[in-house]
């Protein structure tokens, strides 16, 4: 098995090598277009067949770091069925250590070729960070991750949400030697995107 930092790149990861990072990212954008246009294809696949193929292993071509918001059902909005996406979800789609570790697993072990950090309209976590009010429990532990984007966007919620997605994507590239190495070798792409709840469209951010 090929070495990847302190990880060993599994044979499953190597098996997906023919799929380019650009093709993987395009697979997400194509699926979202089908979703927004109301012509999804993922439900046409035989459920029993899918289950049989994925019980023993998984080979997701892409991973998504998404907000936990219930209005953002990741597999649905990208029109992907069982075993196609590796999804990590947390309020504010923040690149915390557990999220980074999970995505490292997706890339180093499962062979994922693209990671998308997905922000969305009216994100409550970003809004709460901007407002800076007292919140119950441990909700405030999210704020330090989102604060740079809130400072950048000011009172403009949409700008802050988009900034947050881009900042978290940059953190993935910079904070993980595992992911950074794969990006450097052109085996992985990490992109930020903004999902519009009303239109169902996810737009890649520069």
**For residue range 32-87, what is the model confidence (pLDDT) as tens digits?**
999 999 999 888 876 776 777 777 788 899 999 999 999 999 999 999 988 899 99
Q: Which pLDDT score, from 0 to 100, does residue 5 have?
A: 40
Find tokens 């697993």 and name the residue.
105
Residue 48 CB neighbour total at 10 angstroms:
8
Number of helices (H) and strands (E) in the chain: give both, helices first: 9, 7
Query: SS3 string of 133-193?
Result: CCCCCCHHHHHHHHHHHHHHHCCCHHHHHHHHHHHHHHHHHHHCHHHHHHHHCCCCEEEEE
Three-state SS at 200: coil
- pTM score above 0.85: yes
Confidence band, pLDDT 50/70/90 cuts, at residue 90: very high
Q: Which pLDDT score, from 0 to 100, does residue 16 have?
A: 53
The answer to whether 28 and 78 are in contact (CB under 8 A) is yes
CA angle 118, 120, 122 (to 5 degrees): 155
3-state helix, strand, coil in the chain (%, to 5): 50, 15, 35
Query: What domains can you pick out in the chain, each with its CATH number?
Result: 2-37+58-205 (3.40.1050.10)
Confidence band, pLDDT 50/70/90 cuts, at residue 1: very low
Please say if the pLDDT value at position 10 is more than 70: no
Determine which of 21-30, 36-45, 110-119, 171-180 has the lowest per-residue pLDDT on average. 36-45
Confidence band, pLDDT 50/70/90 cuts, at residue 17: low
pLDDT in tens, 142-182: 999 999 999 999 999 999 999 999 999 999 999 999 999 99
Burial tier of 197 (Cβ tally within 10 Å: 0-12, 13-18, 19+): middle
């Amino acid at each position: 098995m090929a070495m990847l930092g302190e990880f060993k790149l599994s044979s499953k990861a190597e098996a997906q090598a023919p799929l380019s990072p650009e093709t993987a990212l395009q697979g997400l954008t194509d699926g979202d277009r089908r979703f927004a246009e109301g012509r999804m294809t993922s439900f046409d696949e035989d459920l029993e067949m899918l289950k049989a193929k994925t019980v023993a292993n998984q080979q997701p071509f892409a991973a998504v770091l998404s907000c936990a918001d219930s209005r953002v059902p990741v597999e649905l909005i990208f029109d992907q069925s069982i075993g196609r996406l590796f999804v990590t979800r947390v309020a504010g789609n923040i690149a915390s250590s557990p999220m980074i570790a999970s995505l490292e697993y997706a890339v180093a072990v499962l062979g994922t070729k693209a990671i998308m950090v997905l922000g969305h309209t009216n994100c409550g976590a970003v809004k709460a960070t901007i407002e800076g009010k007292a919140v119950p429990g441990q909700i405030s532990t999210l704020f330090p991750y989102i604060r740079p984007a809130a400072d950048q966007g000011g009172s403009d919620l949409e700008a802050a949400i988009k900034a947050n997605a881009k900042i978290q994507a940059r953190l993935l590239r910079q904070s993980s030697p595992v992911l950074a190495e794969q990006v450097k070798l052109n085996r992985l792409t990490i992109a930020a995107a903004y999902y519009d709840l009303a239109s169902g469209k996810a737009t890649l951010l520069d």
